[in-house]
Amino acid sequence: MKKISVIGGGHVGLVSAVCFANSGYDVILCERDIEKTEHIRTARPPFFEPSLEVLLKKTIDVGRLRVSTRIKDAVSNSEVTFVAVETPIKPDGSIDLTSIETSSAETGEALRGEEGYHLVVIRSTVIPGTTENVVRPIIEKRSGKRVGEDFGLAMQPEFLREGSAIEDTLNPNRIVIGEYDKRSGEVLERLCLDFYRGKAPPIIRMNLASAEMVKYASNAFLTMKISFINQVANLCEKMKEVDVVKVADAMGLDERIGRKFLNAGVGFGGPCLGKDLRAFINFSCQLGYTSEIFEAVLNVNERQARHVVDLAARELGGLKAKTIAILGLSFKPNTDDVKDSPSIRIINELLKEGASLVAYDPRAIENARLILGEKVRYASSALECLSDTDCCIVATEWDEFKRLSPQDFSELMRKPLLINGRRIFDPGVYGKSLRYVAVGLGASR
Ligand code: UDX
């Protein structure tokens, strides 16, 4: 069984390292942030992800997963290195490759004294051409070795979602392998087949830049589905008794369309989708191509949070001095991540209008506080959040919120007005005892 190293202890890096280790591989994870390293070493994941803590503890306890702050340690003690460092974007939307460049340089240095074939696999999301034109020359220069002869180079985009990252790693729909040469692709394919033990999903091999393109195109397509259904939803609201959920259910039964990612709501957020779409737009500009669809998708998404705020303003006759309960701060359920969260966009719009806010989230309050400070009051439960408010906006569809009854709203709120941004409550039930407004729901006759 191959020895594996993973560079980067973020979502992709830590989850992959834990899954490999749990499957019996010897894994060494390299994370340069000392505080994060200490968290991982003591089996306390630096972020919330279902099942991660238990698996991390198991793999640390049996000694299958080791943690280091030095890339040299990681590379020298393995045959395959996965690079999963962050690739943020700059204010102009161009990708910031600093971490990719630094990790490539250190990987090259580490390979200099090593004997035997080593495979480097880029897992970070990088602009097409990066592995070939940035990673390859840096590693070759620093190692004094040649790709294709002394070391292999591959690019394997990741498609895992926060909140189901372990499940997605263990049961992916497909594996995409971008390869510098045949040997690199074969070593990686064999490793994947070994990891999935006869239950591997389809594996598609291609050149490096095509694999990099698959990742951007996939994410852009997902965002297009979301913005598309949000526009349909906004149109449904202008009609009588037309509900976007019914429309999406029926559309989704067409196999060419599919029901997934047709949930209308407050827009998409999170650390990847918006960032990757911006980088893709910037990349296409660099190539002299105007990507009209991608730009429209982004604009629609940015307006969707405002749309929900407008619904609240319309129902309340203005937002000044109104007290509004916000249920959900994370960008989606089962995560404590608030990066680019639509809920934060909604909150900022409401604050601009002079509303006073109380918010609750089962996991993300600590992270939200780092962004919003004390501009918002934080409740310690959903019920406390609703108390004495004029309106409630559901911004994240946590399971915990689905258990709230119509009476919880009508008894606790000053004026029971529910703006359902995530379509988690049945309008037929909740609409009877509350003023109920939802994204994509046309008014009743
Ligand atoms: C995404 C991609 O799905 C994943 O393949 C990639 O590797 C990383 O980015 P993630 O950001 O974790 O994953 O979550 P995802 O489930 O895709 O949701 C992203 C956002 O879209 C969330 O804010 C979610 O609420 C929103 N969304 C999703 C909708 O508004 N409607 C939908 O139908 C689906």
Over residues 303-343, the pLDDT tens digits come to 999 999 999 999 999 999 999 999 999 999 999 999 999 99
Question: Residue range 78-89: average pLDDT?
Answer: 97
How far is it, in rounded angstroms, from Cα 305 to Cα 299? 11
Q: How confident is the model at residue 27 (pLDDT cuts 50, 70, 90)?
A: very high
pLDDT of residue 444: 81
- Per the CATH hierarchy, to which homologous superfamily does domain 237-438 belong? NAD(P)-binding Rossmann-like Domain (3.40.50.720)
CA distance 122 to 94: 19
Instruction: Indicate which residue's Cα is closest to atom 25 of ligand 1.
Output: 332
Pocket test for ligand 1, best of 234, 272, 280, 346 (most atoms within 8 A of CB): 272
CA distance 131 to 143: 16
Which DSSP letter does residue 160 get? P
pLDDT in tens, 148-176: 999 999 999 999 999 999 999 999 999 99
Q: How far is the CA of 11 from the centre of ligand 1 (A)?
A: 14
Percent of the chain with pLDDT over 90: 98
- pLDDT, tens only, 95-105: 999 999 999 99
Buried b (16+ CB within 10 A) or exposed e, 112-146: eebeeebbbbbbbbbbbebbbebbbebbbebbebe
Q: Report the catalytic residues.
A: 272
- pLDDT for the residue 226: 98
Instruction: Tell me which DSSP letter residue 131 carries.
Output: I
The distance from CA 132 to its chain's CA centroid, rounded to whole angstroms, is: 26
Nearest CA to ligand 1 atom 32: 261
Say whether pLDDT at 245 is over 80.
yes
Rounded to an integer, the average pLDDT of 363-374 is 98
The third-level CATH classification (topology) of the domain covering 3-201 is Rossmann fold (3.40.50)
Mean pLDDT of the chain: 97
> What is the dihedral sign for C-alpha 375, 381, 386, 389?
negative
* Ligand 1 geometric centre to CA of 59 (Å): 28
Q: Which amino acid is at 368?
A: A
**What is the model's pLDDT at position 166?**
97
| pLDDT > 70 fraction of the chain, expressed in percent and rounded | 100
pLDDT classification of 251: cutoffs 50, 70, 90: very high
- Kindly state the average pLDDT of the residues 127-153: 98
Distance 414 CA to ligand 1 centre (A): 34
Residue 135: DSSP 8-state: I
Count other C-beta atoms under 10 Å from residue 193's C-beta. Answer: 14
- The residue count of the chain comes to 445
What 3-state DSSP class applies to 17?
helix
Split at pLDDT 50, 70, 90, the class of 2 is confident
Q: Are 362 and 386 in contact (CB under 8 A)?
A: no
- CATH 3.40.50.720 in the chain, residue ranges: 3-201, 237-438
